[in-house]
Amino acid sequence: MDSLLLSLRIVAPLFIMMALGYAIKQTGMMNETSVRQVNKVCFKIFLPLLVFLNIYNTDLEESFNAPLLTFALVGFAIQLASSFAIVMLAQKDNSRRGVMMQGMFRGNFVLFAVPMATSLFGAEAAGEASILIAVIIPLYNAFAVIVLSMFGGGKPDFPKILKGIATNPLIIASLLGILAVATGFKLPDFAYKLVDDIAGIATPLAFIILGASFSFGDVSGYVKELSLTLGMKLVVYPLIAIVAAIALGFRDAPLAVLMTMFAAPVAVSSFTMAQQMGGDDKLAGQIVVFSSTIAIFTMFLMIFALKELAFI
């Protein structure tokens, strides 16, 4: 019963915030334009401040976990390679191939990692998750561009990819946080309180806007693609990663962070990127919507099982 209540306590608020966002959109208080504008502000200001603050409040020596980073990188490489093989065998339409492959490996780690890790283990896990963000997010972005360019018939623009990584607010915030901790820099009290107050807006606002961005359109033409993509992203890859992590001795906070990395739903920005790079944007939108909805339940079950088996 304790495990069930803990799982509900972690997942239910996220589901309620997303439902609230969807309800706000349906009432007409927000439209597509305002949702995009608020999402842009959240991505460029609120979430980066939250990431910075989590790292700033972290003991870098304790939170820097080389085995965790190594597992994450190797796991990502395997996920990427297997996704490519599966999509090439299962799908003939190039406009869908890139979108499906992106959907299989590119998770919304930023949005889900910190609140879930913090709910389970507090600042320790939040620090580990934030440091991992600085490593994983550039890989997600770079390979998403490469994959969509490859299947869109164009060539990857590597200078543009590097510029996008270098100017990504989340990556900049991560690096600034690491720099502040490494140099012993301390924010003045008033500045810390200001950053703390603004960062506190990030998680609820991001989930509300995520819910407001949902559009449950006609999925009849994408049943095969959605089933395969979501099955791999939300079930197969997370289970393989969790079993492997447990076998290698990961427990508690590191295991929770890895679970979130591999089980998180598809990143919202994957829809925009597919739209801009000639992918099937309707499929990309449906993957985001259904992965975000289903992941609430799959992650609940994973947290419950790991807690019940005393791994976290």
Q: For residue 108, what are its two tokens? A: 């919304």
Provide mean pLDDT across the span 192-210. Answer: 92
- The confidence band for 1, taking pLDDT boundaries of 50, 70 and 90, is low
pLDDT of 208 strictly over 90: yes
Q: For residue 210, what are its two tokens? A: 């995520």
pLDDT number for residue 123: 72
The contacts of residue 136 (CB under 8 Å, 6+ apart) are 72, 76, 109, 261
- pTM over cut 0.75: yes
DSSP annotation of 220 reads G
What is the tens place of the pLDDT at every residue in 150-171? Answer: 887 556 677 877 787 788 887 8
Question: In angstroms, what CA-CA distances link 41 with 21, 45, 56, 198?
Answer: 16, 6, 22, 12
Separation CA 284–CA 309 (nearest Å): 35
Separation CA 235–CA 231 (nearest Å): 5
pLDDT number for residue 156: 65
Residue entry with tokens 């939300």: 234
Separation CA 85–CA 80 (nearest Å): 9
Pick the CATH number of 2-308 from 1.10.3720.10, 2.40.50.140, 1.20.1530.20, 1.10.10.10: 1.20.1530.20
> Helix 252-263 crosses helix 123-152 at what angle (to 10 degrees)?
30
**Burial degree of 248 (CB within 10 A; 0-12, 13-18, 19+):** exposed
